[in-house]
Amino acid sequence: QDLDLASIYVSDAQYNRNIYFDTSPQAVRLYLRYNHWLPQVLLYFFILVDLCLALFEEPSVIPLPTWATMLVELLCLLVFTVRLVHYARVIPRDKFWKDPKNICIIVILTLTLIDMIVYGALKASNCYAVRWSRVLRPLLLVNVTEGRQLRRAFRSIRNALPQILYVFLLFMFSLLIFSLMALKLLGKRGLKTTDGAPYFTNYLGIIFELYVLVTTANSPDVMMPAYNASSVFAIFFILYILVNTYIFMSVFLAVVYNNYKKYLKEEVRQLVRAKRHKMVRAFALLQEQRQEGGEPVVSQASWNQLVRLVQPDISNAHRELLWSVSDDQNQGCIGKVAFVQLADLLNIEVITLKSRPHPLRNMCPSLYLSAPSRLLCRLVQHRAFVIVYDLIILMNAVFIGLDEENPMIANSDFWNWFDTIIVVAALIATIINSAMKSSGGYTSRQILDIVFILRVLRLTRVVDSIKRFRTIINTLIRIGPAILTFGQLIIVVYYIFAMVGMELFKGKVKFYEEGSSDPEKVFCGNPLLKQTAFAHLNYCKNNFNDVVSSFVLLVELTVVNQCSGFAAVTHVSARIFFVLFHIVVVIIIINIFVAFVLEAFFVEYSVGKSDLQTSLERKIEELELAVTQYLEDNLVNAMEYNDQGTSQSAHRKPGLMFKIASKRYKTVDALLQRMFENDLDPEDFAESDESGGNFDNPTFSSV
């Protein structure tokens, strides 16, 4: 009983779940079910289905009847409700109603239901109806219990907002003053833009143009009429670019970076305290008094049971290793401090290597151990061989690039043969794969494309073999999981803007397929676009006519804020939508993303492995179980060394080795924690003992 509860606390600490659940046996059983992977996967699946409904709803990519999408949506709502009810039964009632994320979900579900009923009724009576509740859908992603990282990202944005606002107001003030100057300097000169429209005569128009200049989208077009009139006006624009594009945008980054770091650090600090608190509770459940008046301890037996409960798939060797790290003095029991480490230890990925002999050696030892075979082994594993092989891949890549143009190179038979052999494996795999997946959907051309890309991807091998690059690549890979959180963040924001954008702009710009001979094609099916740059540059497919186009367009807008076309087909005020998008996505989210990359890079470059990992590694080395750097120098040597069973540690099977897999982190929290580890108060642990329950984690409160 206690053990079950303790294992839940440890598991919660490991995965940073901050759910305050009832400790009655029934609630604990429900809670275990709530945390099972299956309902979680199902939940995300149904959220995905719910979000993907936009593909089939009006304006749709693949049209489906309204009743079908409505039915699916109802099913989704049902799933979400069930999940919520399950959650309500796990945690005490008062906690449930105090938690804003539950209220959010209830509101979203209610509003969606109302909207569906209203929409259905209006549609049935052939009235105009808008499915406005669709903008609420991505908010589910934020408010489900599993959306911890996402909520944290939103919280740190919300906390940074006041500071950003001050800089933004100052930026707006600068923008307004520059616009006023521009109006006075240029408004009455009767200048014309290339379209023949009056240049800089409308104050609001100037503000917008200068705002867009900050995004660099209309540079240098916006200054050309003035610059053509007199070179002196270039000074005005250069000054503007210096102040607003360079200095203010840097200050935005600085403020976002500063605040993001500050608040995230605070959040992570609370996270760590909550984690330690949970571990202390687990400890309290398992503790026993060895000596009278002594410190309470946890015995190895109950520790083993606990770990087996928390992580059933853990190998015995791995578990023993963790124990020997925790129980440093080999006392057969551990105190509170060592016990609390367990959550972090479990998060370190350890690879158990069994040094098996080569299969050939088992099957045919005389052949494998013969002189030519040994020579081959040495040859293949020699550094020079790797280099030569990399060079061949590199040269091959050059020829892939060149063979398009130069028939002589294309005909050089050797490279074709080389290519053929190398590619065959990938080709076969791909053909089987694609044949199984689609029956006739792919053309042979497309399959070939994929193979070519696979062929090209081998090149990463070359880069990875150069040490200097590897550190940078590792940094990039390590921030990968965290980028997924930003991906979710971006999707939430994009989805909302896409839904609004589709209501505002759907059908205004039409795209005609390549072969179409429709005369309206030259102006994207909208006479208002005649002779505009939008139509001239063939941007017709950049529209809000379905959710896929909308997403692609929003990506384009993130890179460069081009929206003149949409203002032309609707109203000048449509620009507000695009400015708002720029502020939210570029000024806030992209800057946070850049701040995160900067911080992660600095941490990776400056800090070594975290302390806990090092202590684990030290233990592994101490026990002579480490896969040493022999592996890197010469694999054969290392293998021989291990094959001879020279491992001297008595209490472990020889031939079993450990290696810390993760420079990567199992959870994003671990990376965040590491990012701010240096700034975390080292006495925080001692505090968490005393402060007991009164830490103020926003979503977790204790008895």
Nearest to a second copy of 354, 468 (CB atom) = 468
Residue 116 or 241 having the CB closest to a second copy: 241
Shortest CB 513 distance to a second copy, Å: 8
CB closer to a second copy out of 60 and 201:
201
Count of chain residues binding a second copy (CB under 8 A): 89
Q: How far is the CB of 543 from a second copy (least distance, A)?
A: 11
* Footprint of a second copy on 7-36 (CB under 8 A): none
In the complex, minimum distance from the CB of residue 686 to a second copy, in angstroms, rounded to a whole number: 27
Give CA–CA dist 246/249, Å, rounded: 5
Minimum CB distance to a second copy smaller for 10 or for 535: 535
From the CB of 662, what's the least distance to a second copy, in Å? 21
Cα-based angle 346, 352, 358 (whole degrees, multiple of 5): 170
| Closest separation in Å from C-beta 489 to a second copy | 14
**CB 237, min distance to a second copy, A:** 8
CB of residue 663 vs a second copy: minimum separation in angstroms? 17
**CB of 148: closest distance to a second copy in angstroms?**
24
CA distance 617 to 629: 13
Supply 541's token pair.
């497919």
Rounded Cα distance, 59 and 527, in Å = 21
452 lines the binding site for a second copy (CB under 8 A): yes
Residues β-bridged to residue 198: 192
Using the minimum distance from each CB to a second copy, give the nearer residue, 258 or 420.
258
Positions in 99-128 near a second copy (CB under 8 A)? none
Q: Give min distance, CB of 682 to a second copy, in A.
A: 20
Please tell me whether residue 600 adopts helix, strand or coil conformation: helix
Query: Cβ closer to a second copy: 215 or 347?
Result: 215
Which of 103, 122, 251, 337 binds a second copy (CB under 8 A)? It is 251
From 394, 233, 354, 225, select the one nearest 627 (Cα to Cα). Answer: 354
Within 578-607, the residues that bind a second copy by CB under 8 A are 590, 593-594, 597-598, 601-602, 605
Give CA–CA dist 257/441, Å, rounded: 47
Classify residue 626 by its DSSP letter.
B
Residue 328 vs 679, nearer CB to a second copy? 679
Tokens coding 639 = 């293998």
- Both tokens assigned to 279: 């571990």
Distance of closest approach, residue 384 Cβ to a second copy, in angstroms: 22
Comparing CB distances to a second copy, the nearer of 382 and 521 is: 521
Within residues 129-188, the interface with a second copy by CB under 8 A covers 166-167, 169-170, 173, 176-177, 179-181, 183-185, 187-188
Strands across the sheet with 296-299, in order? 288-289, 296-299, 333-334
CA distance from start to end of the chain: 19
H or E segment at 616?
helix 611-622
Nearest distance from C-beta of residue 235 to a second copy, angstroms:
9
CB of 171 to a second copy, least distance (A): 10
- Contacts to a second copy from residues 211-240, by CB under 8 A: 216, 219-221, 223-225, 227-229, 231, 234, 238
Supply the angle between the helices 66-90 and 37-52 in degrees, to the nearest 10. Answer: 150
Q: Hey, is 499 helix, strand or coil?
A: helix
What does 186-245 look like in DSSP terms, one character per residue? HGGGT-B-TTS-B-S--HHHHHHHHHHHHTTTTTTGGGHHHHHH-TTHHHHHHHHIIIII
Pattern 530-569, binding to a second copy, x per CB under 8 A? ------xxxxxxx-----xx--x--xx--xx-x-------
CB 540, CB 549: distance < 8 Å = no
Task: Establish if 481 lies at the interface with a second copy (CB under 8 A).
Answer: no
| Residues shown for the chain | 703
CA torsion through residues 556, 141, 155, 692, sign: negative
CB 582 within 8 A of CB 151: no
Nearer to a second copy, 71 or 251 (CB): 251
Q: Rule CB under 8 A: say whether 45 interacts with a second copy.
A: no
- Between 252 and 700, whose beta carbon lies closer to a second copy? 252
Cβ pair 457, 426 in contact under 8 A: no
Q: Which is nearer to a second copy, 273 or 575 (CB)?
A: 575
- Of 22 and 221, nearer to a second copy (C-beta) is 221
246 or 385: whose CB is closer to a second copy? 246
Cα Rg for the chain, rounded, in angstroms? 31
Instruction: For the segment 400-439, give every residue that binds a second copy (CB under 8 A).
Output: 400-402, 404-405
| Contact in structure between 609 and 617 (CB atoms under 8 Å) | yes
| Cβ nearer to a second copy, comparing 165 with 369 | 165
CA distances for 298 relative to 7, 343, 640, angstroms:
13, 15, 41
List the interface residues with a second copy, window 603-662 (CB under 8 A).
605
Residues 484-523 that bind a second copy (CB under 8 A): 511, 514
Q: Could you tell me how many helices (H) and strands (E) the chain has, helices first?
A: 36, 5
Indicate which single residue of 60, 159, 202, 304 sits in contact with a second copy (rule: CB under 8 A): 202
Among 354, 437, 468, 651, binds a second copy (CB under 8 A): 468
Are 671 and 482 a contacting pair, CB within 8 Å?
yes
Q: Which of 78, 463, 576, 686 binds a second copy (CB under 8 A)?
A: 463
Question: Rounded to 5, what percent of the chain is helix, strand, coil?
Answer: 70, 5, 25
- 520: part of which helix (H) or strand (E)? none
Contact characters 253-272, a second copy, x per CB under 8 A: xxx-xx--------------
